[in-house]
Amino acid sequence: MIEVNGLTVRFAGVTPIDDMSVTFPGGTCGLIGPNGAGKTTFFNVLSGFVKPAAGTITAFGENLLKMADYRRARWGLRRTFQTEMAIEKLSIFDNVALIHEHSGAKRSDRNADVLGAIEFVGLTASPQDKVGGLGARERRLVEVARAVVGKPRVVLLDEPAAGLPDEETGHLSSVIQRIPSEVGALVILVDHDMSLVSACCQTTAVVDFGRLVASGPTAEVLHDEHVMRAYLGTEDAE
């Protein structure tokens, strides 16, 4: 469980997150909102790239904001980026192994864990292939494999389906749905693809202008009047 209380982030003159309080109970949680609502900034606060002006974040009983940024991976925090950041010069195996060796997991478990993660996401390319030669779908899967290797506690997925065609989103969706039960991590999924969010997430939080608009079971939230207005309002206006 992750509890966020009164979180505020200020950049010069802009307040991308404004006194946000939200709880992610467990399983797969959606985090949706229009562009610029503060979703990626929130992930950056969790990762330690952005220092908040106020507020607390408690993850599984621990104060996340007190941890040095690079130590959060060892604690069990993983993330993917909007523009995928798998390392082109390394092989698939090395890309995943890199996370494993900085996660504090046992060296003797490395080969089995890394190959297990590659298998978990359903990558069929040889683990020795360089990531530079892979297509968009496979690179996404490498990123997800990096996020699930070595007993993570929290997995942040930032628009994992961006730019993928529908049938490939389907496979990704099935992978994401298996993370809480098979990997044992809490997943926070940011995406604009509502069918992906409804398929994966038991609960969903909606943010707009850095504030929480609604949260609760995904089906209820998506039909909430405020959400319709905040999120789909532009469509009504057209």
Partner 1 sequence: MSTVTSYLDRTSTYFDRKTIIRALVAAALFLVALIVLPEISGADWITTFTSVAIYSVVALGFGILYGRVGMISLGQVALLTIGCWIGARLAYATSLPFPLLLLVTGACTCAIGVLVGLPALRLSGLYLALITLMFAGATTIFLSVTDFPNGGGGWSGVSVAGQLTTSTPPVRRPSWAVADVAFYRYTVIVAAILFLLALVHVAAKPGRAWATIRESEPAALAAGVNITLYKLWAFALASFVTGVAGCLLAAQVGVPRAITFQTQDSLTLAATALIGGIFSLWGAVIAGIFNQLLPFLFSAQWNVSPNYLLIIFGAGLLQVLLTAPGGLAEQFPKDMANLGRLAVRRFRSLASGQGGEGS
Spatial CA neighbour of 160 closest among 130, 196, 185: 196
Residue 50 DSSP label = S
Query: Please, what is the minimum distance in Å from the beta carbon of residue 89 to partner 1?
Result: 5
In the numeric block, the tokens 């007190």 are attached to 66
Query: Which residue lies nearer to partner 1 by CB, 57 or 214?
Result: 57
The distance of closest approach from Cβ of residue 114 to partner 1 in the complex, given in angstroms and rounded to an integer, is 10
Nearer Cβ to partner 1 (100/211):
100
Is there a contact between 205 and 212 (Cβ–Cβ < 8 Å)?
yes
Nearest-approach distance from CB 36 to partner 1, in angstroms = 19
DSSP 114: H
Give residues in contact with partner 1 (CB under 8 A): 47-49, 69-74, 78-79, 81, 85, 87-90, 93-94, 97-99, 101-103, 111-112, 115, 118-119, 124-128, 146
Q: Helices 110-120 and 136-148, interaxial angle, to 10°? A: 130
The residue among 119 and 220 lying less far from partner 1, judged by its C-beta, is: 119
Closest CA relative to residue 158, chosen from 232, 84, 76: 84
Shorter beta-carbon distance to partner 1: residue 179 or 206: 179
Q: Which single residue is written with the structure tokens 């950049």? A: 11
Q: How far is the CB of 48 from partner 1 (least distance, A)?
A: 7
